[in-house]
A and B are shown apart, each in its own frame.
Chain A
């Protein structure tokens, strides 16, 4: 970040609400079907067809709003947002304009160990458009193909206040938002399937200036990584432009993943004029207190509550608690594991370390993982019992992940049992000490590091199966004799 400037970031996040059927018709919302096989005359915008609102959409939107500390509107309505695009069958999107279902909420993020509140301006219900498939890039494609399977999938658009100051904070906000929505059970939030999509409003201003700078809206942010990179790039671009005396214009820009830059999407064709007006086909919603309270009562433990519990009951650091609560499945894994193995910090370390590593490497969710909590707990016990070393455990863990076998079985099959027999180790140590008089000499002359050489040699001879703690103490005992 160039000195003297501050970046201001607000985010618009679209999440797909977790329903069986679409928002205004009975077509399935399942991802990945053959093009135009989950469509009907309603979601394909055929003449005369009318929308009928899916009740579950409203419930999920209210639950999301409650989980995000929003006020739930007692009256709201649907509006038509008019624009022509081949993937928008009615040439208007049914959305909510001036009366969103949720407004004035907030969530807390962990910004460099400090808690920071990010405001949520509003969250409103809308329908998704279809998908356009281009031949290569949209700008050069000679034609495009329209698949309407996504058309009419229910979305919640969550608009934040411009409360974030760094790309990292923006990322943390989306991660927190995602975990809250996952816990509340309102969305799958799968970025790779497009069930969580993100647009960033980015502006810069001299530090100390109160007014916001002119913002650019960045689209096409398909991963946490591109979100961060795009914000960083865009802030730099704006600062360079300002320094060069180039005026920043309010515009929509797209993130170019390949070139790692943002570029303008401005079209000279027209200024947008969406001509919102109330959709006459959909009666408004009246949301009573009883309904809201019933839904509030149905909310499960949310990430903040879970984090508090982890810190209180297990004495975990906030950092660990945040990661453990990144998804309900992740937290459930932890909770199940600590029921069987009581050292919560060890469980947390393994989950944040080895488990996360293999999940990321394999691009997997914890729910797809073959290692179940009881298996991890058993493996940790085997370390404590001295059956395997911590280092061996990593090998065992990888095998457990790959095959789903229990730790005991892997140890048996691979003959991975730790050597903790004093006599065996004493004999090995003695042989190596005797065979290496020069190293012993070095040790005598104060090169304490030379001891490491003997550890290495014993480990080599035992294929790493020597009990490391025992080996250290026996070696020290033996070397003392030389002095």
Chain B
């Protein structure tokens, strides 16, 4: 095994035993990146020197507690002081924050080693990472295919062994869907569990930072670091959280699992249904109680999601006006022209489309019919979940209706592309925690199983996911990546 192939907790063990140094780990990863990055294109910014320098410092101090000395990378909308943060947008191509996002600061404080910033759909709007203003990222399992999105760079980097773990953000599935497409673990915590401060907002009531990792244990380790109240984010909840690694138990006897019938219809590929149903059988084998339930408002979630998220986005992205940061049209004769030209030049097609839709949904005469209506439906969807969680500990479903699709395949009609999120958006609307765990393959491509729990009960997800992971071996299968080892 090469060092870059190891997962976070394996690297922790190696460092603790001092079998290898942090510098050796970082160099191994950088070598791996050099080898595969031309094909994968997961990174927007890579700072090799900084990473090596930090690794050496860790080695000098011989401080190998927590994630000290272990490299990682961040989705490029998580602000990093002194390191360019682009949101994969021309608008912010040269933006260098003077502040760290709280999650970035926490990982820095834990002495993890930041390698760089990861590609994404521009401003997190998309499901394929094709909406990056720079270049699309490719799926390590099949370079002709997309890694999913919007945290496609994060998922691809972890799947391609370019980083042991990464952070992403999830507004409607943007962690879980790419994790599913790339065959890794992706957790979107409960809304309010992790600080959003310093994370460029797409839809403030739905966005949540989460972890993409090679296994469930690593996910628990990182969640321990990034979770918790932040005085800089009024929506980060001030409640205690457990040590998530204590939930890494294989005993799930009596665990009550619901699977919603609606999540096994809605145009979900037959193969995917089969793989997930097999997983449910495994759960039964392990002693869990599995029952079919109904979430009757599921079919309305995508429409509600689109109205709410774009409305919020239209306000959140208004600040990119060319005055204080970002690009500017310097030729404009007046302020209105400057705003309009700057934004026309800075934003890509999908971002414009969503700003337009959101502006419309909030505009005079349409607010009640669209935005307000969506908020009401949001309550119905939330109520559906609440009802189920009176009797069940977790809900299990496929993460996505299909496996990774080919680049360019879904570019014609935005609506078809949005359908990729149909099984993940309800969870954001209800503010619940959700994880995608590898649970098998369909036509050689990874399939993810989504596990959903009550608000702030990430522990239940981690327990169920870990038990499944230990009972099966899907997570040990790695992409070949079309490049020869050491080639």
Contacts and interface: CB of A to CB of B under 8 A. Distances in A.
B315 A45 contact: no
A280 B235 contact: yes
B312 A48 contact: no
Interface string B328-370: 0000000110010000000000000000000100111001000
Contacts of B233: 50, 52
A82 B339 CA distance: 14
Q: Which of A41, A50, A146, A283 has the most CB of B within 10 A?
A: A50
Contacts of B315: 80, 82, 90-92, 275, 277
A281 B315 CA distance: 12
A273 interface: yes
Nearest to B198: A48
Contacts of B234: 50-53, 281-283
B323 A146 contact: yes
A48 B196 contact: yes
Q: Which of A52, A90, A269, A277 has the most CB of B within 10 A?
A: A277
B197 interface: yes
B101 interface: yes
B79 A50 contact: no
Contacts of A277: 311-312, 315, 362, 367, 371
Interface in A41-86: 41, 44-53, 80, 82, 84-86
B17 interface: no
Interface stretch (B130-138, B199-207, B240-248, B277-285): B199-207
Contacts of A45: 319, 324
Contacts of A273: 363-364
Q: Which of A44, A91, A269, A280 has the most CB of B within 10 A?
A: A280
B92 interface: yes
A276 B362 CA distance: 7
B99 A46 contact: yes
A365 B325 CA distance: 42
Nearest to A36: B324
B318 A48 contact: no
B98 interface: yes
Contact of B321 (A50, A52, A91): A91
A49 B197 contact: yes
Nearest to A82: B315
B235 A281 contact: yes
Nearest to B87: A47
Contacts of A269: 336
B456 interface: no
Contacts, number: 103
A51 B323 CA distance: 20
A44 B324 contact: yes
A49 B200 CA distance: 8
Interface in A149-207: none
A89 interface: yes
B416 to A, nearest CB: 28
B98 A41 contact: yes
A138 to B, nearest CB: 11
Given A47-B319, A49-B197, A41 B363 contact: no
B79 A48 contact: yes
Contact of B197 (A48, A80, A92): A48
A137 to B, nearest CB: 15
A79 B39 CA distance: 46
Nearest to A92: B315
User: Which of under 10, 10 to 19, 20 to 34, or 35 or more describes the interface residues of B?
Assistant: 35 or more
A50 B197 contact: yes
User: Which of under 10, 10 to 19, 20 to 34, or 35 or more describes the interface residues of A?
Assistant: 20 to 34
A46 B324 contact: yes
B95 interface: yes
A41 B232 CA distance: 12
A89 B318 contact: no
Contacts of B87: 47
Contact of A47 (B92, B205, B323): B92
Interface in A253-287: 269, 273, 275-277, 279-283
Contact of A283 (B200, B235, B321, B367): B235
B25 to A, nearest CB: 30
Interface in A83-127: 84-86, 89-92
Nearest to B237: A283
A269 B204 CA distance: 30
Contact of A89 (B98, B197, B324): B324
A152 to B, nearest CB: 14
B211 to A, nearest CB: 19
B228 interface: no
B319 A89 contact: yes
B97 interface: yes
A230 B363 CA distance: 33
Q: Which of A44, A48, A146 has the most CB of B within 10 A?
A: A48
Given A44-B324, A82-B315, A275 B363 contact: yes
Given A273-B363, A281-B204, A47 B311 contact: no
A118 B315 CA distance: 37
Q: Which of A86, A144, A146 has the most CB of B within 10 A?
A: A86
A28 to B, nearest CB: 18
Contacts of A282: 234
B79 A47 contact: yes
Contacts of B319: 45, 47, 89-91
Contact of B318 (A41, A84, A280): A84
A48 B101 contact: yes
Contacts of A53: 234
A407 to B, nearest CB: 56
Given A46-B97, A275-B363, A52 B371 contact: no
A410 B371 CA distance: 74
B231 interface: yes
A47 B100 CA distance: 11
A94 B86 CA distance: 26
Contacts of B235: 50, 280-281, 283
Given A41-B99, A46-B99, A48-B201, 10 more contacts: A47-B87, A47-B92, A47-B320, A50-B197, A84-B336, A85-B335, A90-B318, A277-B311, A277-B315, A280-B205
Interface of A: 41, 44-53, 80, 82, 84-86, 89-92, 144, 146, 269, 273, 275-277, 279-283
16 contacts: A46-B99, A46-B324, A47-B200, A47-B319, A47-B320, A48-B97, A52-B234, A53-B234, A84-B318, A90-B315, A90-B318, A92-B318, A273-B364, A275-B367, A280-B312, A281-B235
